[in-house]
Structure 1
Amino acid sequence: MMPLDDRDAPLLTLLRVGRIFAPAPLEATEVLIADGRIAALGRDLAVPEGWPVRLVEARDLTAVPAFIDQHVHVTGGGGEGGCGTRCPEITAHEIASMGIGTVVGVLGTDGISRSPANLLAKVRGLRAEGICAYMYTGSYRVPPPTLTGDVQRDLAWIPEVIGLGEIAISDHRSSQPRQDEIERLVSEVRVGAMLAGKRGICHFHVGDGKRGLEPLRRLLTETEIPAEQVIPTHVNRHRDLLEEAADYALAFSASVDVTAFEDPGEEGLSGFDAVSRLLARGVPVEHITMSSDCNGSLPEFDAQGHYIGMRVARNTALIADWQRLVREEVLPLEQALGLISGNVAQVLGLDGQKGRLAAGFDADVTLLDGDLQPQQTFVSGKRVHARDDSP
């Protein structure tokens, strides 16, 4: 073999690791990557003499599917306290250093100074830096801002657009959409996604308002829309909402998304506590996902809804909560991986290419040490992050 370093663009990459969870544990200890995809998994894989190959020796590390974060304010969130409270953009390094290979960019409260076009530019910039990035068209607002003037056209003609979001409900910052407006939006997304061959999910921001998940319960009860079409997020912002989310997931066999809050406050629950409670309520692990909401704003309001302060979310809590679920044996590693990998790929309609380590799948691989800390991250076979002491 002709070893190459990261400055080259090899035809092949061979990862030699200690263990592989794909997410189920495998006997294999090697991953052969060709043209950005996994070509084979096995032991003592042979490469013809003279073929250009990058050899990565990481026998003390465990290979897992690279993580997927379905809710990232890649252009920064915020603005609820004026222009001086706009949050910063996220960098490719901040994403990859947490073992995350794929992100979905989202606009939030601010759909004025930030736009879908701005979001698309950032998504394409991240792709140029090696991160697999997608986006939701729209923002909190109803009717939503779009790239082409129409939600269905965005889905049909913009490859990076995989759904609509984050539409705000049960929140004083939302557009207070009527039930018929919600139903019309979700229906448009469904048809547009069908024409584009996409899942086309509607990603709903759920605030702490008294209506909770009622608009989504009505949507699934009163229309023919399938539950897989809508994903409520931030369902752990307070305990009553989480209990409602458990009932919702069980009643409709629906998925719910937990936010890994750095500081959930007195009313909220951490990602660890929220997943633990959902599992205790009998929600199947396959119907639970976790996301970071990173670089979004964490505004504080008083009882009258007046802005009083702001913090910026990070993605470190996502990995920390996930690690704790494994370390405290709430879930075995192979099931916990679904929360930030396979389950998310299923929700987004990317499960034919991501969320597993298998021949033909995208070569998105994260290498973990014994403490479950990401040491190296590969996206489409390219190493986009390695800690200083990694080989």
Structure 2
Amino acid sequence: MMSLDDPHAPLLTLLRVGRIFAPEPLEATELLIADGRIAALGRDLEVPVGWPVEVVEARELIAVPAFIDQHVHVTGGGGEGGCGNRCPEITAEEIAAMGIATVVGVLGTDGISRSPADLLAKVRGLRAEGIAAYMYTGSYRVPPPTLTGDLQRDLAWIPEVIGLGELAISDHRSSQPRQDEIERLVSEVRVGAMLAGKRGICHFHVGDGRRGLEPLRRLLAETEIPADQVIPTHVNRHRALLEEAADYALGFEACVDVTAFDEVGEEDISAFEAVSYLLERGVPVEFITMSSDCNGSLPEFDAKGAYLGMRVARNTALIGDWQRLVREQVLPLDQALGLISGHVARVLGLQERKGRLAVGFDADVTLLDGELQPRQTFVAGKRLYASDGSA
């Protein structure tokens, strides 16, 4: 991986590829990157003689907007079975190898031994290595742990904080928050985000409890909170919850996030199946996103809630399920890209700089081969991953 502080690194990068999807297909086959952003797209682009430019010849590859994963346990999740069941941190290499340029870090069940301060330190560490990393303040718990002691101050004063999450509902591991507590927290986040000029989403972990999405349905039906501030994730835990998610998305014109489970259990529904079902139900593709939940725990409990064991989630299923949606023609490539790029950027409030290949946007570019496998990943114009090990 190239050092971001290398004084000898070229100031310009010219990518020559076979095709470009921005996400819509373009006639252009070249991208010129300058100062971390896309400076030009076209054919036969020329750079003045003597200018410091690196030319990347990748005529056999397809350039697409680099992927965005809005739910990553960057410091590791777990802990439900005690301190011996903590999941490991994720590395910048593991992120970039999947074509992912941007991640949002979350805390989960364990907001005690892991804190928002730990999460912020890891996010800043990933940024130092080149990944575009952000975080949610809070955890499963109500009241949520914060960096400054106040949700609004976290949003206003910490640039990396873009919302609250993952706040747990309909789960035996949650704080069983009352409806009025949920409404107050979402309202605080909304005002804090307005003061900070951020979207300020509230990212809700939805368990397999019988209440399902009821707290969020009530929130949107009984208050003035706009639907685009609330994002339920893990909506494909079981068939009844997925059906409810379709009704929720259609009824409120709201976005739902599907988790690409590393291994699908008896009740879990794969991200491929979940997205296919939502589309069949008439949910617009713009209302659907996918995330990995990687480096979180995949715990198993018995009928009484007793811990049985766990596995560590990975981000490979996210790319695999997404590839399958294109290969099996559920969605064409340009529309499928939104599930892990453009739609996610909009949800997070980053759509003015990420999720597209266009002049002025961040030069976050993933190069795919004919099988849609990531071969090179550029973040802000820096190559962080190459399948041949040249990054």
TM-score by length of 2: 0.98
Residue 314 (1) aligns with residue 314 (2): yes
Q: What are the Cα deviations for residues 93-132 of structure 1, in whole angstroms up to 9, with x where unaligned?
A: 0000000000000000000000000000000000000100
Q: Which amino acid aligns with 1:76?
A: G
How far apart, CA to CA, are the structure 1 residues paired with 2:307 and 2:91? 28
Q: Following superposition of structure 1 onto structure 2, how do residues 106-185 of structure 1 map, counting pairs within 5 Å?
A: 106-185=106-185
TM-aligned CA deviation for residue 7 of structure 1 = 8.4
Contact (CA 8 Å) 1:376, 1:390: kept in 2 or not? no
Residue in structure 1 matched with residue 57 of structure 2 by the alignment: 57
Structure 2 SS opposite 1:236: coil
Alpha-carbon shift at residue 230 of structure 1 (Å): 0.3
Structure 2 spans left out of the alignment, 5+ residues = 1-5
Q: Could you tell me how far apart the structure 2 residues matched to 1:16 and 1:373 are?
A: 18
For the residues of structure 2 that align with 1:216 and 1:38, how far apart are their CA atoms?
A: 39
Deviation, 1:8, is 3.5
Counterparts of 2:216 and 2:281, CA distance in 1: 20
Q: Give the superposition deviation at 1:29.
A: 0.2
Say whether the 8 Å CA contact 1:101–1:131 is kept in structure 2: yes
The whole-number CA distance in structure 1 between the counterparts of 2:7 and 2:308 is 48
In structure 2, C-alpha distance between the alignment counterparts of 1:146 and 1:320, rounded to whole Å: 35
Secondary structure at the residue paired with 2:155?
A: helix
1:267 and 1:34 map into 2 onto residues whose CA distance is 48
Mapped to 1, the partners of 2:49 and 2:191 lie a distance apart of 51
Identity %: 86
In the alignment, what sits opposite 1:339?
339
Displacement of 1:390: 6.8
Measured after TM superposition, the shift of residue 225 of structure 1 is 0.1
Q: Distance in 2 between matches of 1:287 and 1:33?
A: 31
For the pair 1:86 / 2:86, whether they are aligned, the reply is: yes
Structure 2 counterpart SS, 1:218: helix
Please list the CA deviations of residues 3-28 of structure 1 after superposition, one character each: whole Å capped at 9, or x if unmatched. xxx98321110000000000000000
Structure 1 Cα separation of the partners of residues 73 and 262 of structure 2:
15
Q: Which residue of 2 aligns with 1:386?
A: 386
Q: How far does residue 266 in structure 1 lie from its aligned partner after superposition?
A: 1.3
2:105 and 2:337 map into 1 onto residues whose CA distance is 21
1:300 is matched with 300
Look up the equivalent residue of 1:335 and give its one-letter code.
Q
Distance 1:8 1:80 in 2: 47
How many pairs are equivalent?
A: 386
For the aligned residue pairs, the C-alpha RMSD in angstroms reads 1.0
Instruction: Output the TM-score relative to the length of structure 1.
Output: 0.98
Deviation at 1:262, TM superposition (A): 1.6
Distance 1:44 1:233, change over 3 A: same
Map of 1:1-391 to 2, 5 A cutoff? 8-388=8-388
What is the alpha-carbon distance in structure 2 between the residues aligned to residue 7 and residue 384 of structure 1? 17
Match of 1:3 in 2: none
User: Which residue number corresponds to residue 3 of structure 2?
Assistant: none
Helix, strand or coil at the partner of 2:264: coil
Partners of 1:280 and 1:243 lie apart in 2 by 11
Q: Is the 8 A contact 1:250 1:283 kept in 2?
A: yes
Structure 1 runs (4+) deviating above 3 angstroms are: none
The one-letter amino acid paired with 2:375 is Q
| Whole-angstrom distance in 1 between the partners of 2:128 and 2:176 | 37
Structure-2 separation of matches of 1:94 and 1:262 = 15
CA drift of 1:264 comes to 2.0
Q: Tell whether the 8 Å contact from 1:237 to 1:264 is kept in structure 2 after alignment.
A: no
